[in-house]
Amino acid sequence: MTLLKKIEEFQLTKKDTKKEISDFILSHKSEIAHMTLEDIQKHTYISKSSLVRFAKSLGFTGWKDFIISLLEDIYQEEKYLSTIDPDIPFNSTDNQKEIVEKIARLQIESLQDSLRSLEQSHLLQAAYSIKKANRVVVFGISPNDTLANLFRRRMISIGKVIEICPGHEMGVTAYSLSDKDLAIIISYSGNNPEKDSNTLATLAENDVTILAITSYQTSLLRERADIVLSVSSREQLIHKISSFASEESILFVLNVIYATYFSLDYDKNLDYKRRTVNRLEIKRIFGSK
């Protein structure tokens, strides 16, 4: 989720100071780069301390850090502006053709967004970490665990076993890992207090390498992870029809991790996959007779 999306969520709360600040920021995006803290205070009649607290509530150290990130977000929004709302991509008046086209455009844009955010060096680091790890365990709640299962299936097809941790066993699984293992944590926000914080604490105690697939630029997961791969961050957490964009982005990142890992030993992996497929296909042919 982008910073602008987080600010938009404050507009959904009951009327309070955060809502008033959010309303002002979102209605003055084109001018805010030229406004000082004093200017905003005069327009909103909100104290400087309240404005600073607003910035800190979003994970920043102060107003200056907040404004720098906000201006970057505004620039990115203007540069890659889409007519498709990732949260409500179609409405009741759209016909079937329009719905299909909007979903297709939204998913294409989410892939492009993720591609822009992807650090090639981090991707290579992720692939090497998977290769050297004794155990690789993916942590993620639904639907991320479903997407992870597709990744697990691809990896096992070239001989690398990946485990998917059941949601109710995250604590005990994290405790079982060591510094020779890798934990892949898929979390859109990276700020789930019940799942992320407890799991991260246990993994840190055991010196487990953490690969995060996440969106938020300021989150507990991003802060604690050793390697971070970013996904499209245009969706709200709650107020949406479905996670069309984020799920597409997560699956894309998992696919490129697989492809990068495959490329580390290309000929070996290709040969393994061919031999596995041939053996399975032969069994299917004879089994059908």
CA angle 87, 92, 93 (to 5 degrees): 120
Is this prediction's pTM over 0.85? no
Please write the tens of the pLDDT for every residue from 176-232. Answer: 999 999 999 998 877 765 566 788 999 999 999 999 999 866 678 888 999 999 887
Q: How confident is the model at residue 158 (pLDDT cuts 50, 70, 90)?
A: very high
What mean pLDDT, rounded, does the chain reach? 85
Asked if 227 and 196 touch (Cβ cutoff 8 Å), the reply is no
Please write the tens of the pLDDT for every residue from 65-116. Answer: 888 888 887 776 666 556 677 777 888 898 999 899 988 888 888 888 888 8
* pLDDT value of position 231: 86
* pLDDT value of position 124: 97
Q: Report which residue type is found at 152.
A: R
* pLDDT value of position 157: 92
* pLDDT value of position 59: 84
How many percent of the chain have pLDDT more than 90?
39
186: which strand partners? Answer: 213
* pLDDT value of position 126: 97
What is the spatial distance between Cα 256 and Cα 130, in angstroms, rounded to a whole number?
13
* pLDDT value of position 213: 94
CA distances from residue 266 to 97, 156, 187 in whole angstroms, order as listed:
41, 15, 30
Question: Quick one: how far is CA 214 from the chain centroid?
Answer: 3
Please write the tens of the pLDDT for every residue from 242-281. Answer: 777 788 899 999 999 999 999 999 999 999 998 887 777 6
